[in-house]
Amino acid sequence: MKLWDKGISIDKTIEAFTVGDDRAIDLHIAGYDLRASLAHAKMLAHIEILDKNELKQVELAIAELEKEIETGAFKIEDDFEDVHSKIEYELTQRIGAAGKKIHTARSRNDQVLVALQLYYKDNLDIVQRQIKVLFDTLISLADQHKSELLPGYTHLQVAMPSSFGLWFSAYAETLIDDVLVLQSAQKIVDQNPLGSAAGYGSSFPIDRKMTTDLLQFSDLKYNVVAAQMARGKNEQIIASSLGNLACTLSKFAMDICLYMSQNFGFISFPEHLTTGSSIMPHKKNPDVFELIRAKCNSLQSLSSQIQMMTNNLPSGYHRDFQLLKSPVISAFETIKTVLSIFDYGLQHIEVKPVDLDDEKYKYLFTVDSINALVQNGATFRAAYKVVGEQVQKGTYVSDSRQQHTHIGSIDHLALDQIKAKFPSLD
């Protein structure tokens, strides 16, 4: 069944190409199409296109289909072009004439838009809540290991003292920025496009504010052309926000891979969370975090991919938009998995003591030594020259480290303030 079927057979090769992977990917939005169809039906009853009995039939049939989706019994067979044609067919088969009326005053463009935006809203919320779980784990680790020093690096050269507390809480606070970006994306997709039909509205006296309330959108996308133009732009904004989060997670995964290596040896994981080598029995490979790094780097390319597909399209609907569903939905599924496995891994991280008396860390406290001279009356430039000459002559001996008392430093992590910054998810 095709919603646009006019009784003319289409070439099977062309049909297979145009349908693509819609049947598989549409299973992710089937429940959202049902929600939108129910709201649309209630609105049609409100404007007296459906009578009360027909609305009741639609409600019962949609409830049955929702249960089938929940149990995994709902399928989109090859006879159907997509989830929208499948659902309309099922409604018609189950309730007859009322099912045939369900497409009144809407277009498939309309259906795809609203189902996707409902999916995007929910999944942006899920991602933020998963970030909060990871954030809480990082804050806990930061507090647990706040007194354990760790070399800090610039240019991958030993630079200044850091700490595990500073490292963990740095990524925690960075996640706050990622949530703010995701919330901006969520606000943009939280506008009801239903009623835009094929992009130019309808001559039926539909009540778009009613469906906005029923679907719990915070606002309405008023201009029907603007609603259709959101297709592509929504995905671009979402891809950018997910890419921003992926950048944080990729960097963190890289740190973990680096710090696990024998040359650093700052952290480890239990054997059962690492993998081995087919010929080297001593290996404990951080495959999980290498795959996280690769998946997150791939996610960062999605924004460019979407831009290349949509940036030169004029207003109105184009079939190019069909190709946006699969990569964006796949991106959501990937990032949710990554966040889950990242948190699971960090629950088992083993922080190892760092021997700061090791020769390779002998210059870790040069800045502290300079600052100590300044506090005793020297100018900074003079103190820098004194310590610099000691380094050049090989006579530098580290003083006991200085306390770093300013907010956000190794001795004042401000964990309570960072926790208070996390945005509300209500």
CA atoms of 32 and 111, how far apart (whole Å): 9
- Angle, CA of 327, 328 and 332, to the nearest 5°: 115
User: Average pLDDT in the 308-333 region?
Assistant: 91
> Nearest Cα to 383, choosing from 403, 368, 398?
368
Residue 19 has pLDDT above 50, yes or no: no
Letter for the amino acid at 299?
L
User: Average pLDDT in the 130-150 region?
Assistant: 97
Q: Does residue 335 contact residue 123 with C-beta atoms inside 8 Å?
A: no
**pLDDT value for 183:** 98
At 284, the pLDDT band (50, 70, 90 cuts) reads confident
Identify the helix (H) or strand (E) that includes residue 124. helix 108-144
Choose between 266 and 426: higher pLDDT.
266
Q: What is the mean pLDDT of the chain?
A: 92
Identify the helix (H) or strand (E) that includes residue 239. helix 224-260
Choose between 98 and 282: higher pLDDT.
98
Local structure of 191: helix, strand or coil: strand
CA atoms of 22 and 25, how far apart (whole Å): 5
CB atoms within 10 A of CB 9: 7
Q: Does residue 29 contact residue 324 with C-beta atoms inside 8 Å?
A: no
**pLDDT value for 3:** 47
CA atoms of 37 and 58, how far apart (whole Å): 9
**pLDDT value for 65:** 97
At 317, the pLDDT band (50, 70, 90 cuts) reads confident
Residues 6+ apart with CB under 8 A from 46: 207, 210
**pLDDT value for 426:** 81
**pLDDT value for 133:** 98
Q: Does residue 245 contact residue 131 with C-beta atoms inside 8 Å?
A: yes
At 24, the pLDDT band (50, 70, 90 cuts) reads confident
Q: Does residue 132 contact residue 425 with C-beta atoms inside 8 Å?
A: yes
**pLDDT value for 272:** 82
CA atoms of 158 and 167, how far apart (whole Å): 15
Kindly state the tokens that stand for 228. 């259709």
Q: Does residue 392 contact residue 398 with C-beta atoms inside 8 Å?
A: no
Q: Provide the total of helices (H) and of strands (E) in the chain, helices listed first.
A: 16, 6
Domains, the chain, ordered by start: 12-101 (1.10.275.10), 108-193+222-351 (1.20.200.10)
Read out DSSP for 193-222? -TT-TTTT--SS---HHHHHHHTT-SEE--
At 95, the pLDDT band (50, 70, 90 cuts) reads very high
Only one residue has tokens 């996640």, namely 175
User: Average pLDDT in the 97-111 region?
Assistant: 93
Residue 20 has pLDDT above 70, yes or no: no
CA atoms of 105 and 152, how far apart (whole Å): 62
Strand partners, 153: 158
CA diameter of the chain: 94
Whole-number percent of the chain with pLDDT over 70: 92
Which pTM value belongs to this model? 0.92
Only one residue has tokens 């998995």, namely 337
**pLDDT value for 12:** 58
**pLDDT value for 283:** 62
User: Average pLDDT in the 53-79 region?
Assistant: 95
Distances (CA, A) of 291 to 265, 279, 299, 330: 20, 21, 12, 16
User: Average pLDDT in the 305-328 region?
Assistant: 90
User: Average pLDDT in the 139-149 region?
Assistant: 97
Cα of first residue to Cα of last residue in the chain, in angstroms, is: 41
**pLDDT value for 6:** 47
Residue 350, φ and ψ in degrees, nearest 5: -115, 110
Residue 21 has pLDDT above 70, yes or no: no
Distances (CA, A) of 341 to 59, 179, 285, 368: 39, 19, 16, 38
As a residue count, the chain comes to 426
Distances (CA, A) of 105 to 7, 88, 119, 198, 332: 22, 14, 22, 10, 31
Buried b (16+ CB within 10 A) or exposed e, 72-107: eebebeeebbbbbbbbbbbbbebbeebbebbbebbb
Summarize pLDDT for 112-133 with one digit per residue, the tens: 999 999 999 999 999 999 999 9
Choose between 310 and 3: higher pLDDT.
310
Choose between 331 and 271: higher pLDDT.
331
Summarize pLDDT for 237-267 with one digit per residue, the tens: 999 999 999 999 999 999 999 999 999 999 9
Kindly state the tokens that stand for 179. 């949530």
Dihedral sign (CA 285, 290, 291, 292) = positive
Choose between 281 and 385: higher pLDDT.
385
Can you point out the beta strands (E) in 223-341? 267-268
**pLDDT value for 276:** 59
Strand partners, 350: 268
